[in-house]
Structures are given as structure tokens and as C-alpha cells.
């Protein structure tokens, strides 16, 4: 069956080549999410999964008449209300609203992946590519800065170029931002810390700030419907102290064990829901252009 998601996905991918911050890309993001939600609403049912994650319920969508499960969805953060999503999103796109509406970001980030699982199960790449473009769009449109994909610097007298996820350079007066983006941190997340270490070493420790953005850490056993969160807090502690310092870490669905890690080591980790960052309309600008410290005694 030809997927109704294929064309809007390709249009989004194509549009991203013209720039990550432009309004045309905002429209493509919304199109793809709404197309995905229409499909989920009309052709699928939600079934509850066997969540082993304390305090969280997860559901899968299933095509009517079939049994294959989509990736897990935290319905608390998920909305099928296309009008609500359209209004909230367009308000932000127009520079009027923030992105703090409870379900807006999670739904936009998640809907396509869920629907894609049911049309095209083997294809993990398209949902991951969509997610990268979506997050880059959030940061590019909020800051007005187009990200680069390559860091260029000399090593031992040789000019090298390293491909990273996204790099934002607000010019002399701001902090540079290194933005690694991952669907989950399994396997490859150490790359984020290693790249940040390279940036710290090549440009000086205070030049680049790192914000790691991850969708979630859920893992679904397709046969049993069991959902767990895969977390490696020991690794994160070692990377954060011994490899490089990630200034902030944002999730679309914060894993319980990383929330606990941030609570245990508040001076080392800031791990929050991404809506916390974007619910302040100028949160990103304040991050990139921090106010100078007040003189002592005032």
C-alpha cells in the first residue's frame, strides 16, 4: 500500500534544504503531523501496553484488523486534536505564542514516527530524520540563526572539518550552541559528549554550550507488549564529569531514572522536558545571549 505519509515527508525533507528556520518548514512540519494524526484517528485503535515504567502508561496504535504495534506513546502528552495543535503551532510560527502548550511538542515530535511504524515498520531512518529536522527547526526559528553541520578548526596545523548534528553561532556577542539530537540515547549518545569534548578542546571550554535533545528512552518488546525505559546513569555520570559537560539535556518524555540522576546531582545535570525550555518565548535567546552578571553589592 502506498503510504499517505510518504509525500508530506519528502516535501518536508526537501524544504529543510532551503533553511531550518523558515516558515515554509513550519508548515511542512504541521502537514506531516496532521496527516499522521488523521490516519491514526480513522484507521487505527490505541491499545494499552504493559508498562514497566513507574508512574507512566504507554499505548500503541494498531491498524484496524491487524496486530502489529507502533512505537509506545505516552498518551498523557499526546493529542489527536488537530485544531488545537494547528492553532498553538501557528501562533508560535507567527511569533505570538510560546511552545509551552502541554501536548504540542510531544505530539508534533511523535505522530509521524507512530504512523510510520504501521506503514513502513522497517524504516527507522525517516522518523529519525524527521525528528532531527523538527528539533533543528525549533531552535533555528526561535533564535533566527541557521545551524551549521560542520565544525572547522585546526588540529596539529591541519584544517579539519567534523560533521556534527547542529551548531548555532550567534556571533561575537553570544554563546555558541552545540545541539546533538537523538531519538534515543542508546548506543550512539557517547558521540554527543565526545563531539562536545572536541569543541571544548578546539575552541576553549566556555565557547560552546551543549544542549542534548532526545525524544525518549522507551523500548517495546513487540511480542509481549512490555515497555521499559533503557537508562545508563553510571555512563552519563562518567561522560558528564570525565568527557565533557553537557549544559542541559531535554527530553520529549523524560525518563524516570534520568530525572532521579538530575535530582541526585543538581550541580552536574539539568534534565527536563523540552516544553520547559520553550514555554518561555525568549528562552533560547536568553540562553544564547546571557545577561552579564550584576556587579557585586547591587
Binders of a copy of itself among residues 254 to 273 (CB under 8 A) are 265, 268
190 binds a copy of itself, rule: CB under 8 A:
yes
239 binds a copy of itself, rule: CB under 8 A:
yes
- In this structure, the number of other CB atoms found within 10 A of the CB of residue 162 comes to 15
Binders of a copy of itself among residues 51 to 70 (CB under 8 A) are none
Which of 122/292 has CB closer to a copy of itself?
122
Q: Residue 30: left if φ>0, alpha if ψ -120 to 50, beta else—which one?
A: alpha
Sketch the per residue contact string, 104 through 143, with a copy of itself: x for CB under 8 A, - otherwise.
Answer: ----------------------------------------
Q: Please state, in angstroms and rounded to a whole number, the distance separating the CA atoms of residues 86 and 101.
A: 12
Which of 80/162 has CB closer to a copy of itself?
162
Binders of a copy of itself among residues 208 to 237 (CB under 8 A) are 234-235, 237
- In this structure, the number of other CB atoms found within 10 A of the CB of residue 285 comes to 16
Cell numbers found for residue 61: 496504535
Cell numbers found for residue 95: 511569533
Q: Least distance (Å) from a copy of itself to the CB of residue 251?
A: 21
DSSP reduced 3-state for 90: helix
98 burial type by CB count under 10 A (0-12 exposed, 13-18 middle, 19+ buried): middle
- In this structure, the number of other CB atoms found within 10 A of the CB of residue 265 comes to 15
Q: Among 85, 114, 198, 275, which residue sits at the site for a copy of itself (rule: CB under 8 A)?
A: 198
**Which residues, listed in sequence order, are joined to residue 208 by a DSSP beta bridge?**
176
> What strands, in cross-sheet order, belong to the sheet with 218-221?
50-51, 226-229, 218-221
Q: Among 68, 194, 205, 221, which residue sits at the site for a copy of itself (rule: CB under 8 A)?
A: 194
Q: Among 67, 96, 122, 156, which residue sits at the site for a copy of itself (rule: CB under 8 A)?
A: 156
Which of 83/234 has CB closer to a copy of itself?
234
Q: Least distance (Å) from a copy of itself to the CB of residue 184?
A: 15
Q: Least distance (Å) from a copy of itself to the CB of residue 234?
A: 4
Q: Please state, in angstroms and rounded to a whole number, the distance separating the CA atoms of residues 250 and 259.
A: 11
List contacts with a copy of itself (CB under 8 A). Answer: 153, 155-156, 158, 160-162, 187-188, 190-191, 193-195, 197-198, 201-202, 234-235, 237-239, 241-243, 265, 268
Amino acid at each position: 500500500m502506498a503510504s499517505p505519509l510518504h509525500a508530506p515527508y519528502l516535501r518536508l525533507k526537501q524544504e529543510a534544504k532551503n533553511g531550518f528556520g523558515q516558515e515554509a518548514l513550519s508548515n511542512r512540519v504541521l502537514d506531516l503531523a496532521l496527516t499522521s494524526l488523521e490516519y491514526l484517528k480513522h484507521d487505527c485503535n490505541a491499545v494499552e501496553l504493559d508498562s514497566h515504567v513507574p508512574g507512566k502508561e504507554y499505548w500503541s496504535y494498531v491498524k484496524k484488523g491487524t496486530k502489529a504495534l507502533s512505537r509506545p506513546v505516552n498518551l498523557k502528552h499526546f493529542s489527536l486534536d488537530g485544531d488545537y495543535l494547528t492553532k498553538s503551532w501557528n501562533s508560535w510560527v507567527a511569533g505570538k505564542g510560546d511552545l509551552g502548550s502541554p501536548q504540542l511538542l510531544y505530539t508534533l515530535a511523535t505522530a509521524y514516527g507512530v504512523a510510520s511504524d504501521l506503514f513502513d515498520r522497517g524504516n527507522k531512518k525517516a522518523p529519525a530524520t524527521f525528528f532531527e529536522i523538527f528539533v533543528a527547526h525549533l531552535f533555528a526559528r526561535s533564535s533566527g540563526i541557521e545551524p551549521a553541520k560542520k565544525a572547522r578548526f585546526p588540529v596539529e596545523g591541519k584544517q579539519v572539518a567534523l560533521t556534527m548534528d547542529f551548531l548555532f553561532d550567534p556571533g561575537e556577542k553570544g554563546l555558541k550552541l552545540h545541539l546533538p539530537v537523538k531519538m534515543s540515547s542508546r548506543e550512539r549518545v557517547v558521540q554527543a559528549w565526545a563531539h562536545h569534548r572536541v569543541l571544548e578542546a578546539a575552541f576553549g571550554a566556555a565557547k560552546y554550550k551543549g544542549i542534548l535533545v532526545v525524544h525518549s528512552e522507551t523500548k517495546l518488546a513487540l511480542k509481549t507488549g512490555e515497555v521499559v525505559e533503557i537508562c545508563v546513569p553510571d555512563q552519563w555520570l562518567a561522560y558528564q564529569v570525565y568527557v565533557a559537560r553537557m549544559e542541559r539535556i531535554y527530553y520529549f518524555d523524560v525518563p524516570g531514572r534520568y530525572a532521579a540522576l538530575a535530582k541526585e546531582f543538581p550541580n552536574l545535570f539539568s534534565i527536563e522536558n523540552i516544553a520547559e525550555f520553550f514555554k518561555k518565548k525568549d528562552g533560547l535567546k536568553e540562553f544564547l545571549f546571557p545577561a552579564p552578571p550584576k556587579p557585586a553589592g547591587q
